[in-house]
Structure 1
Amino acid sequence: MPPSTPGAVLRRAVQILAVNGRHVGNWYDIDQHASGIPAERCGLCMLGALNVAVGLRPDTPLADHPVIRARRLVYRAALLLAAALGESPDPRSLLQVLSDWHDGVMAPVPPADESVTALMLQAADADQALADDTH
């Protein structure tokens, strides 16, 4: 059963990263894909893992799609990640903010896998706290 909340998408993406491995620099490891591995089973960045968690290709563009529920869930999960980083980017810069952090663009090295997982779980917990507050 596919995830039905942004927090569930984030938790499923953490599981996918644990199995596939993390890739820095692109949605998925293009070299693995070139060797015949399906893109969904290659090493992934955190945004690629969010897409795979809802059954999309890892390189599906990040957008708040009004009709496609899976894309809307990924977008909302990405907003939670940005908030966990203390950022509130506009929709045009959301992808850039998250990919720059994930790939370590503003740091000497990308964050450790454990830091990525911790951020994703923190964002998932924030989604759960919001859901608890509304009930």
Structure 2
Amino acid sequence: MSLVEVMVGAGVFALSAGCSLQVWSGTASWSQRAERQRQEQEQLETRLLAVQAVLQQHAGTPLASDCDAALAALAPRLPAQGAWVAQDGGVLVVLDGAEAARRQRWFDPAAYGLCGVEAAAAPEEP
């Protein structure tokens, strides 16, 4: 084998090794980014489940005859994270994550039995 063949072979080997390391590095960073996004989505979902747990805890206990009034009475008990948008007798909970992750869910107090006709006769909580 001549010196030229050895030099060309070494150059091809070095180039392919460099490309291989670049691909491996890109795959590793993509995998880490995907894992961070998955964890962030899980955290946002956990925060939404905390809101749902508070609503389920008070389910069947009418707070007011009007759903908006029931929502206002329940608001101090809900976790204070995220944005709350009251609309159509319910509340839209919007949670934003660090890496442009966003979760939102609409909760209806009537679905949990927190408002309705029988709420007018229900005793007020202290």
Q: Is the radius of gyration larger for structure 1 or structure 2?
A: 2
User: Which bracket does the TM-score occupy, shorter chain normalised?
Assistant: under 0.3
| TM-score, normalised with respect to structure 2 | 0.24
| TM-score, normalised with respect to structure 1 | 0.23
